[in-house]
């Protein structure tokens, strides 16, 4: 259950899961493209065992959900929403900025929100109201006018409450790859979106990647993973607790400890075994631990190199000088610094976003934020004085490229 890992095999394994399901996912996408809502209803019956009367969640059901959720939980979701909103407000760009860079030439950027986006909130094994908040809040902060959500049936009242707190009421009870296809392509009930965000299992992630020509996506997100850098000063119980917290997400979740101390790896293994034995989601945890383990390295330099190669979704740094190690990390979705920075804090209430790239894609993508929901246009305001300043340069380069009409478009103004 707790073993030494080969980092290359571990990383390759995370990607191979996606390749394995692309065939079946392509078939699902094809059905949604051809059959629309009829495919969603049939696939929901097949995969979820539920006959739906309607795909859209009515307003009355969303409003009634509050009566089914404990008041303390509602208040906790409200507090989490405030912290998540506050952090994402810090990311907002000015709608327009302009700067005169030289006489007669003013440059800038115009930032506008996307018009319509879709969020996927997982379900099935558990309700994820926190993911509802994480997907919706940055879109709301960005100013997106239309936001919809797909989530597998039966939809938990807790998820409905979280979506309401986050600020949307367009909710559809459909999950899996078929939900991604519906949002990307559009059906009779679900209008197509410009971008799809949110985590999911390998089928959901594969569908997002296959549909990028129809709707932009955030990044491949799911199943969950964690890497931990630790030295001899680390607390093995804290490390084991973080490992189990990620392992309970999904049987395909994966955890890796990268440590300079072989004895610590043994102590963490003992703690993992002890804590897993009494865990509520023991079966899921034990399956995830089957592809988890540890890597012993010679020093922290090597540890940093290994972690950058993994590019994990979550990275916990539990060493004597965590800030010193932080400054050397290049590839990680979200980083948790010090023994008391439990990854669960970022999952729920610190304010950062927990929708993050997985399977090594943190090398290429950043975690979900306000910028994912915006497009940026460069702006140039040029007067006659500014045109004179750069006219010769434009004409010379345009003529050299053989694009003489380009050059003439400037000459005619200068003669003007």
Set out the domains of the chain in order of their start, with CATH numbers. Answer: 20-221 (3.40.50.1980), 223-354 (3.40.50.1980), 383-415 (no CATH)
104-149 residue pLDDT tens: 999 999 999 999 999 999 986 678 999 999 999 999 999 999 999 9
Q: For residue 312, report the phi and psi dihedrals to the nearest 5 degrees.
A: -75, 160
Nearest partner of 247 among 287, 200, 307, judged by Cα? 287
Q: Residue 365: pLDDT above 80?
A: yes
Average pLDDT over residues 33-50: 97
Q: Which residues pair with 295 in a beta bridge?
A: 258
Q: Are 273 and 246 in contact (CB under 8 A)?
A: no
Distance CA 203, CA 46 (A): 15
Average pLDDT over residues 308-331: 96
Tokens of residue 91, six digits: 């990311």
Alpha carbon 323 to its chain centroid, in Å, reads 25
Distances (CA, A) of 387 to 105, 132, 244, 251, 412: 8, 50, 63, 62, 11
Confidence of residue 19 (pLDDT cuts 50, 70, 90): confident
Residue with tokens 């005619």: 412
Question: What is the sign, positive or negative, of the torsion defined by CA atoms of 125, 56, 218, 49?
Answer: positive
Confidence at residue 229, expressed as pLDDT on a 0 to 100 scale: 98
Vertex 339 angle, CA 338 and 344, to 5°:
95
Confidence at residue 231, expressed as pLDDT on a 0 to 100 scale: 98
Span of 9-13, 210-214, 270-274, 384-388 with lowest mean pLDDT: 9-13
257-305 residue pLDDT tens: 999 999 999 999 999 999 999 999 999 999 999 989 999 999 999 999 9
Question: What is the sign, positive or negative, of the torsion defined by CA atoms of 237, 352, 131, 40?
Answer: negative
Alpha carbon 399 to its chain centroid, in Å, reads 46
Q: Residue 338: pLDDT above 70?
A: yes
Catalytically annotated residues: 313-314
Q: Which residues contact 307 (CB under 8 A, 6 or more apart)?
A: 227, 229, 258, 315, 329, 331, 332
| Its pTM surpasses 0.95 | no
Q: Are 256 and 303 in contact (CB under 8 A)?
A: no
Instruction: Give the three-class secondary structure for 178.
Output: helix
Across the chain, mean pLDDT equals 95
Confidence at residue 125, expressed as pLDDT on a 0 to 100 scale: 64
Q: Residue 241: pLDDT above 90?
A: yes
Distance CA 151, CA 120 (A): 6
Confidence at residue 2, expressed as pLDDT on a 0 to 100 scale: 83
Q: Which residues contact 159 (CB under 8 A, 6 or more apart)?
A: 121, 123, 127, 128, 129, 132, 151
Average pLDDT over residues 10-18: 74
Confidence at residue 362, expressed as pLDDT on a 0 to 100 scale: 95
Average pLDDT over residues 87-108: 96
Q: Residue 322: pLDDT above 90?
A: yes
Confidence at residue 218, expressed as pLDDT on a 0 to 100 scale: 96
Confidence at residue 223, expressed as pLDDT on a 0 to 100 scale: 81
Distance CA 231, CA 263 (A): 10
In percent, the amount of the chain with pLDDT more than 70 equals 99
Instruction: Give the three-class secondary structure for 171.
Output: strand
Nearest partner of 14 among 276, 297, 206, 175, judged by Cα? 206
Confidence at residue 16, expressed as pLDDT on a 0 to 100 scale: 73
Burial class (CB in 10 A: 0-12, 13-18, 19+), 308: middle
Distance CA 71, CA 273 (A): 35
Confidence of residue 17 (pLDDT cuts 50, 70, 90): confident
Confidence at residue 207, expressed as pLDDT on a 0 to 100 scale: 97
Q: Are 339 and 235 in contact (CB under 8 A)?
A: yes
């Amino acid at each position: 259950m707790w073993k030494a890992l080969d980092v290359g095999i571990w990383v390759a394994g995370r990607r191979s899961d996606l390749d394995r399901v692309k065939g079946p996912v392509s078939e699902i996408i094809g059905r949604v493209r051809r059959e629309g809502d009829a495919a969603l209803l049939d696939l929901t019956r097949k995969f979820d065992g539920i006959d739906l009367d309607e795909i859209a969640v009515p307003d009355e059901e969303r409003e009634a959900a509050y009566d089914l959720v404990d008041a303390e939980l509602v208040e906790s979701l409200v507090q989490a929403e405030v912290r998540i909103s506050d952090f994402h407000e810090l990311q907002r760009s000015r709608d327009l900025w302009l700067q005169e860079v030289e006489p007669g030439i003013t440059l800038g950027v115009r930032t506008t929100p996307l018009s319509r986006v879709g969020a996927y909130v997982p379900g099935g094994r558990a309700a994820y109201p926190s993911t509802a908040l994480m997907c919706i809040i940055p879109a709301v902060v960005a100013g997106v006018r239309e936001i919809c959500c797909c989530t597998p049936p039966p939809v938990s009242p807790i998820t409905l409450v979280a979506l309401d707190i986050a600020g949307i009421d367009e909710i559809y009870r459909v999950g899996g790859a078929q939900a991604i296809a519906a949002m990307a392509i559009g059906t009779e009930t679900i209008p197509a979106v410009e971008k799809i965000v949110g985590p999911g299992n390998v089928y959901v992630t594969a569908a997002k990647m296959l549909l990028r020509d129809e709707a932009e996506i955030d990044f491949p997100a799911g199943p969950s993973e964690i890497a931990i850098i630790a030295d001899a000063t680390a607390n093995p119980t804290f490390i084991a607790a973080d490992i189990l917290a990620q392992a309970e997400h999904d049987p395909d979740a994966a955890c890796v400890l990268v440590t300079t101390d072989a004895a610590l790896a043994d102590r963490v293994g003992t703690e993992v075994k002890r804590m897993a034995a009494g865990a509520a989601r023991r079966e899921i945890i034990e399956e995830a631990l089957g592809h988890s383990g540890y890597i012993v390295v010679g020093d922290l330099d090597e540890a940093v190199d290994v972690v950058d190669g993994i590019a994990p979704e979550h990275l916990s740094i539990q060493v004597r000088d965590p800030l010193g190690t932080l400054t050397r990390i290049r590839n990680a979705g979200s980083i948790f610094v010090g023994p008391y920075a439990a990854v669960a804090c970022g999952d729920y209430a610190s304010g950062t976003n927990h929708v993050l790239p997985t399977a090594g894609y943190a090398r290429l993508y950043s975690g979900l934020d306000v910028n994912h929901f915006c497009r940026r246009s460069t702006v140039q305001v040029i007067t006659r004085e500014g045109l004179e300043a750069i006219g010769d340069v434009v004409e010379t380069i345009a003529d050299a490229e053989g694009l003489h009409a380009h050059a003439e478009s400037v000459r005619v103004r200068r003669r003007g």
